[in-house]
Amino acid sequence: MDLKGFAADHLGHFAPHDIGNILFSMLVAAFLGFAMGRFGGRLSAAHARSLALWAATAALAMVFVRTQLAVAVGLLALLLLVRRRTDEGPDAVLFGAAMVIGLGCGSGAALVALVVGIPFILLVRWARPGNRVL
C-alpha cells in the first residue's frame, strides 16, 4: 500500500481541506463557551475555561459524528459510560474528551483525530487549573 492510499483510508469521511474547518469550529466553540461563562454567567476564569473545554469537546464530537447514525449511537453509549464512571467529577470532561478522540479514531478518521487532537490537547492544558501553555 502506498502512502496516499494509507492516508485516504484513515481520513474517514473527511477530505484534507476539512481539517482547517474542524480546527476553526473547535476553537470558536471554545471561545464562545469561555465568553458565555465569563461574561454572560459571570463565572470565575477557571470555571469559564472548563466551559470552554466542554464546548470544544462537544464541537469535536459533533464533527466526528456528522450525519452518521451508527457513530452517533456509539458516541451516546460512550458518554453514558463516562457519566457512570465519573459522576460529574472534575475529570469527567477528560474522560469525555478521551472517548471523543477514541470515537474519531475508531470511526476511521485516525489521521483527522491526530491532526485535530494536538491543538485540542493544548486547549485542555489551557483549560485545566494549574497548567499553563503560555
pLDDT in tens, 79-125: 787 666 555 555 777 777 888 888 888 787 888 999 998 999 899 88
pLDDT in tens, 47-64: 888 889 988 988 888 888
What pLDDT is recorded for position 59? 87
What pLDDT is recorded for position 119? 92
User: How far does CA 96 lie from the centroid of its chain?
Assistant: 8
Instruction: With cut-offs at 50, 70 and 90, classify the pLDDT of residue 6.
Output: confident
Left if phi > 0, otherwise alpha if psi is -120 to 50, otherwise beta: which for 125?
alpha
Residue 110 to residues 9, 11, 30, 100, 133, Cα–Cα distance (Å): 9, 7, 22, 12, 25
Q: What is the mean pLDDT of residues 26-40?
A: 89
Rounded to two decimals, the pTM is 0.76
Q: Is 16 helix (H, G, I), strand (E, B) or coil?
A: coil
What pLDDT is recorded for position 34? 92
